[in-house]
Each structure stands twice: as structure tokens, then as C-alpha cells.
Chains A and B, each alone.
Chain A
Amino acid sequence: MKYVTAQLLHDALLQLDTYSADKDNRIKGLFSVFVLKRLGVTVGETSALSIEDFNNVCWALLRVIQEGDPASLDGEKIYNPFGNDPIVKANWPRSTLWTRITTNKSWKGIVITDAGGF
């Protein structure tokens, strides 16, 4: 098994920032597509997902400060590689990808959902 180096990670983050720079603000929500893809959402077939599903994938992919690290005490810090400022709110996956999903019009043409969330 080989691993990403510090240099490679640094260069990748710069590349993603450069990529996002000339896109409009909605590029920040693109991460949601990767969460849904990871959770097996596809075309022509519905997937029933829980809040926990969203949380698990978000933490695994975005969290940079882990539970137990000193800096995690005032909230898990996650980093959106598409240009969001780091998000401190621990319930971000729930609020952004779940509760608001049916009211988020920018999903139109991308994701079909029933009246999910609460």
C-alpha cells in the first residue's frame, strides 16, 4: 500500500482551489454529489438514506480534525475542498444535505427526492 504525501495533498488542495475559483458560488455544494454517489444513489432507482448515512460519509471524507484531537473540543472542523470556509457546526451534514435538501432549488435537475428530512 502506498500513501499520499504531504506535498501531494498540498498540491491537490491548490489544484481544487484553482478549479473552483472561476465557478459560481454553487460549486461549494458539489461535495453533496460525492456523498450521494458514495451512498450508492443512482439514476432510475431510489435509495432510502438516513441522517446517520450522511453523517458517516461526511465525517469520513471531510473531517480534518478528529474526535479526541485537542482542537475538536469546540466542534469538529471539516474542510470543503470546493472553497467553503471550514465548517465548525457539528450538524452540518444533517442541515445541509438532509434538512434543507428539499428546499434547495439548486438541486433541480440533479437530484430527485421525496419530502425527506424534518
Chain B
Amino acid sequence: MLAVFEFDPGYVTTLLSRRLRDSPLPAFALAAYFFRRPSDLAQLPEIDSHEDLISAFKSYFHISATDVPLFDFSVPAWASPLSDDELSRAEVVRIVATAPHAGEIASLLAAEASGEVGDRCDEIVACALKMGQVLLFGPPGTGKSYWAEKAALRLTGHADLSVAAYTGEVAIVAWHPSTTYEDFVGGMTVRKGSIKRRSGIFQNFCERAAANSTRRHVLVVDEINRGNTVAIFGELLFALELDKRGKPVQLTDGKTIVVPSNVYILGTANTADRSIAALDVALGRRFARVEIAPEPELLGSTRVAGVLLQDLLRTLNTKVTEAVDREHRIGHSYLLGGDDRPISSFDDLAFTMKYRIVPLLQDYAIDDFDILEEILGVGFVDAGEQRIKAEAFRTEAALEAALRVLIGS
């Protein structure tokens, strides 16, 4: 479809008096902005000087003699020299982000610059935009909640979770076996001796989102598979699909709820706690599913007690997968310190093995010491005496010896 345009014969006068307040446009600054990356443009003439920038501006925009009063074509005093190298896209984005009025771009970049927005976050955001709901699932310690929060920030354009929470655009709730439909959606509750209806967390969240429809709102539901998901969502299951958004859904108590199109749900599910295969099919098909698996490579080349932490985690997970199943693998965060760096001292590794990893595996093996010995090796477990060898954690040499048995070297 085509439309026909032409400039009004008096357009230069009109622009100057009504838009520019008789102040000609700075052609050099415009040229520097528009021609920031010549390789993104077509048919831009060769530029070798400041004057060429202005000439290129005139030819690129077909500036005629009639247009001349609209512009100041002088080279300003602040014009610093040109370079032999073209700006990268990343550099352009960085500079624009520091410019006035660049709030949203700036917050996006702040998240990117922190190195926390990588392929994983992109994947979650893309899934959320496509389906509205995403389920992040994986074994404990793989960073499901971490990625859910990062994706929530990306979706809302905030750089800081506390700010996002303060605006009401991101809310985080955790489900547990006692979480009910009345807590989440709403229902009758006893208050001061009388029965009254109370809106649930999600209904309030949807109302807030509807009142601010130009902004995305993200509800993070941690441990979603610890609650009775089908019962908690109730008739909302129908309303979650993107093509059903914005339509009122009748609730059992006679009220209606509308899930606006700017609401997104990011759920996390610990597969060691309860398999997501147990999730209701109707619920499952409304969530995009992203597996957050252990990433041993995040442990880098850190070596403690003579053992490469990457090798330790890989070996443990191979053995857990064989002896139990892959849903009970151990996440990399067990071997990360509070600063998100790999633990680096004997004391920390001994503590982690003794008080975090071994007890976790005892739970998985339901105290079957034959299975435990199969996973941890004879350096840590004495299946005959049905005990964990406490002496393996006492000295660095003892720990190294037990670890070497575990990883088979």
C-alpha cells in the first residue's frame, strides 16, 4: 500500500518559526549522530574530515538551497578528531545509554554490563514473550531463582530488584504445600469473626498491572511445584494463555478476574523435590519449560585439595545419574562461595562436602549406604559399617585422598 507525500511550499518557514524557534538545526551534531556507523547505512559518501561529514549530511538528506535556512552548517569548536576505526554497535549502544532521555536503554545496558544477562536470560525472556509463562526447572543449586530474577529485570527494564519490587512491576512469592487457591487468587476468609472475601496475591497483581498497562509486570513463583499447582491456579489456567488475556474469567465465588496481557509468570521447580512430570498436563502446556542444568564449567580451573572442582562436580553428577536419576544431580552453586566465585580453600570444601553435599546425597539415597558408597566412593563411605567416614574431612591430605578415590584418579 502506498501513500503520497510532498512538502508544503512554505515548509521551511513553518518549521523555522513553529518548531525551531528560528534557531537553525546543528547539522554537524546531526551528521555525527546519523552517521555514527556508516556500515549500517546505504549509499553514504566517503568521509575523511569534519567538512565531509557535513557534505555527506547534505547529500544523504537531499538538502536543497531552499532548506539551507533550516541548518547551521558550521563545524563546532567541540568537534574532536575523527578516527580510523568505526564504532562497534556495542560502543554506540553504550554511548547512547549515557545520553539524556536514555533511561530504558541505560537500564538494559546496566544489566548487560554486569555480565548477568547472557544466552540463558535471553532464552527465558523470549519464552516469556511468546507464551506468557515460563517454568525454570532443574536440580537444586543450579540458579533457577537467580535466572528468574534476572529475566524479570530484563522484562521490566529495571536494573535493581528492589526498585522493580517497589514499583510493583516484579513480585516474588514462594509456594509451599499449604499454599491455597484463596491465597493466590482469592476467596472467602474469616476476619474478626466474620466471613469476608479477600483478593489473593495474583488478583491484586493483575489489577496493579491493568492500571499500568504500558509496563510489563512479572510474578516470580519460586518452588512452584511444591504447591498443588492445579488447585492453586483453579480456573486461571484458562486465562493464562496469551490469546485469552484481557478477557474476564468468572471465579467460583461469583467475582471475575482479568489477566492482562502485560502480566508474565516465571515459575521455578526443583526437580529433586518433585518431578515436573507430575505437573498437570493442562498446566504444563501453558508454560514454556527451560531446563536449568548444573554448569560445572562455571567452576573454571579452580583446584582445591588437589582436585579440579569441575571434575568433582562432573563425577558426582555422573554417579548420581547412574545411581539415582538425572533430576537429582547437584547444582554448581554448591561449590560457589558467597561471592559467586568457586570456593578456594580446604576449609570451605570440607564444610561443603561434609555438611551440604554428603547429607543431600544421604537424603537422595534414603540412607542406603551401598548407594552412597557407589556415589561417593570408599574414601567417604564405609558401607560395611553403615557410616560416613568423618576422618575424610579432618585434614587436607585426607580430603584429597577421599576425593581422588571419588573421581577415580
Contact = CB atoms under 8 A, between A and B. Distances in A.
6 contacts: A2-B52, A3-B84, A10-B99, A50-B1, A70-B118, A111-B6
A73 B126 contact: yes
Interface stretch (B62-70, B160-168, B354-362, B396-404): B62-70
Contact of B95 (A13, A50, A98, A113): A13
B82 A81 contact: no
A6 B6 CA distance: 36
Given A41-B7, A70-B122, A85 B1 contact: no
A58 to B, nearest CB: 12
B105 A10 contact: no
B29 A110 contact: no
Given A44-B6, A46-B5, A85-B101, 15 more contacts: A2-B49, A4-B82, A5-B87, A9-B95, A19-B29, A37-B62, A39-B5, A41-B5, A43-B66, A50-B2, A70-B112, A71-B109, A73-B125, A74-B155, A113-B6
Interface residues of A, number: 74
A33 B85 CA distance: 30
A115 B15 CA distance: 22
Contact of B33 (A13, A24, A30, A60): A13
Contacts of B66: 43
Closest CB pairs A-B (n = 3): A116-B3, A12-B32, A2-B82
A13 B98 CA distance: 9
Interface in B272-308: none
A60 B109 CA distance: 21
Given A36-B7, A86-B101, A22 B21 contact: yes
Contact of A49 (B3, B8, B84): B3
Contact of B9 (A38, A43, A51, A88): A43
B1 A64 contact: no
Interface of B: 1-11, 14-15, 18-21, 23, 25-26, 28-30, 32-36, 38, 40-42, 46-49, 52-53, 60-64, 66-67, 76, 78-87, 89, 91-96, 98-105, 108-109, 112, 117-119, 121-122, 125-126, 129, 154-155
Interface of A: 1-17, 19, 22-24, 26-27, 30, 33-34, 36-51, 60-61, 63-66, 69-71, 73-74, 77, 79-81, 83-86, 88, 98, 101, 109-118
Contact of A36 (B5, B30, B32): B5
B83 A110 contact: no
A22 B6 CA distance: 29
Contacts of B121: 70
Contact of A69 (B33, B53, B89): B89
A74 B154 contact: yes
B62 A109 contact: no
A46 B6 CA distance: 5
Contacts of B20: 23, 27
B7 A3 contact: no
